[in-house]
Amino acid sequence: MRVVLGVSGGIAAYKAASLLRLFREAGHEVVVVPTEAALRFVGEPTWAALSGQPVATDVWTAVDEVRHVRIGQQADLVVVAPATADLLARAASGQADDLLTATLLTARCPVVFAPAMHTEMWEHPATRANVATLRARGATVVDPASGRLTGTDTGPGRLPEPAELYAACLAVVEGAETEPAGEQPLAGVHVLVTAGGTREPLDPVRFLGNRSSGKQGMALAEVALQRGARVTLVACNLSSVADRERLTVVPVESALDLEAAVREHRTGVDVIVMCAAVADFRPKHYAAAKIKKSHGVGADGTADDSAPTIELVRNPDILAGLVADRGAAPTPLIVGFAAETGDESGSVLDLARAKLARKGCDLLVANEVGVDKTFGADTTTVHILRRAGGPETTVGPASKHEVAAALWDVVGALLPSP
């Protein structure tokens, strides 16, 4: 794949070097097109050495090759990381006063912008309007992460980590290749997807959580959008969400929050996909102040190293509740996910089949999880089980967008004809 890596002038430019390395290590050809300001943060020799390609910022270098046109024309992907507020404004207005903005005008491949800037700049109406314009033209603008910014500032505006950006770029390319232009098999269908992992608060600074990254749920939402669906995304603790302008995003934290959000937004939905990793238990008591460890001395004169006992209570079974509320009605079609490790009572598939019978949902997607398996990874293997019988479909090892495409194929075959 021929990748153009645009780099604009922000402190996060140093992260783009790691993104470049990820593309190169995967065998992709990368041409780096920095702005003049970007070279004040990372110099031309670094980009040339890491890419193995000549680097220029202006349209006058190698004029005989017409590089300001050719680079964009020959690209399979253009990604701008970081994309400053200035770069987003120039791209949205169609300026072409340097090699990067000229390349953006000539590119006919997928284009990904990864903004990075201070929170006030990201939230300014001018920046939001520029982002909306770029998204309306078909570009992908990845929402920045929240965290420590330059100096002591914190908030949304931080460039996502290189591995996360790399996965997002591959997902955009895979989506463009998977869905032919004009093919909208889910047009007119409203889907609700849950993604991420719930957090059960213990005290103001601690929570019980899980390892879910939300990548599979996001892939399901993105592929559904590509297929023409209207998508409501219930996002459990996701730091960034792509395609926010085209999604209805409902942020939640705990399992009880998730249950309330799904019940509130299920009206008129044709398909519910419960992909989020939901905690089975939550602390019975929430401590209003931080729980502190003891520094006292016990009765026997030794240090008191006791730990508090945390009592847990069960969370509601949201999936089973949705099925019960639906009753005998044909819609919404309900899809559950089973993240299993397997144990002495059975394999992952054994446990998934039992869960499908117990929950009563229409489809159950089973995958094996654990340390270094599925959670946070870019590839996975799943088994799609049908309540009504029929073959169990295995997908993978495959990217999470390929898994999403396979699941929507199965779902589409079960939906009534328009």
List residues with catalytic annotation: 210
Here the tokens at position 410 are: 């199965």
Angle between helices 44-51 and 13-25 (to 10 degrees): 10
Q: Of 413, 416, 409, 345, which is closest to residue 382 (Cα–Cα)? A: 409
Angle, alpha carbons 81-246-364 (nearest 5°): 100
Contact 378, 392 (CB under 8 A): no
DSSP track, 2-53: EEEEEE-SSTTHHHHHHHHHHHHHTT-EEEEEE-TTGGGTS-HHHHHHHHSS
- Other beta carbons within 10 Å of 136: 11
Cα→Cα distances 227→9, 269, 412, Å: 36, 16, 10
Assess contact for 80 and 8: CB atoms under 8 A. Answer: yes
Do residues 31 and 20 make contact, with C-beta atoms less than 8 angstroms apart? no
How do strand 230-236 and strand 333-340 relate by DSSP bridges? unpaired
Q: How far apart are CA 62 and CA 259, in angstroms?
A: 59
C-alpha separations of 167 from 308, 390, 401, 412 in Å: 40, 33, 10, 26
In terms of C-beta density within 10 A (0-12 exposed, 13-18 middle, 19 or more buried), how is residue 373 classed? middle
- SS3 of 132-153: HHHHHCCCEECCCEEEECCCCC
Kindly give, in sequence order, each residue whose CB lies less than 8 Å from that of residue 387, ignoring residues fewer than 6 positions away. 356, 360, 361, 362, 363, 364
Classify residue 65 by burial, with Cβ atoms within 10 Å: 0-12, 13-18, 19+. Answer: exposed
Contact 102, 64 (CB under 8 A): no
For the chain, what is the largest distance between any 2 Cα atoms, rounded to a whole number of angstroms?
87
Query: Which helix (DSSP H) or strand (DSSP E) does residue 357 occupy?
Result: helix 348-359
Looking at residue 243, the DSSP 8-state letter turns out to be: T
